[in-house]
Amino acid sequence: MPINAPWNYPTLMCTPPGGTGDVFPTETVLPLEAEAYEITRGGDIWRVTVKHSGEVLYEGTGPVVLVESPAPF
């Protein structure tokens, strides 16, 4: 990254721990701002979708939250 490039505070998708014995949520870096995604819940299934394309990025147990990273990448 060039020195004069602006910092990027990416969107993080936080999902429940993935494997047996995992305790910490999984954080996945997403390329768009948080407003570009939609979180829906149907029963026990949570879904994260890209609004403009309808692409499903996550479908599984919840809760799921989207946050702006507190640190730049």
Give the mean pLDDT of 35-55: 95
Residue 48 half-sphere exposure toward CB, CA atoms < 13 A: 22
pTM (predicted TM-score) = 0.79
Residue 72 main-chain phi, psi, to 5 deg:
-75, 155
Tokens at residue 56, please?
């499903």
d(CA 22, CA 30): 22
**Would the pLDDT of 2 be above 60?**
no
> What is the pLDDT at residue 55?
97
Residues 6+ apart with CB under 8 A from 45: 59, 60, 61, 62
pLDDT over 80 at 14, yes or no:
yes
Residue 29 has pLDDT above 60, yes or no: yes
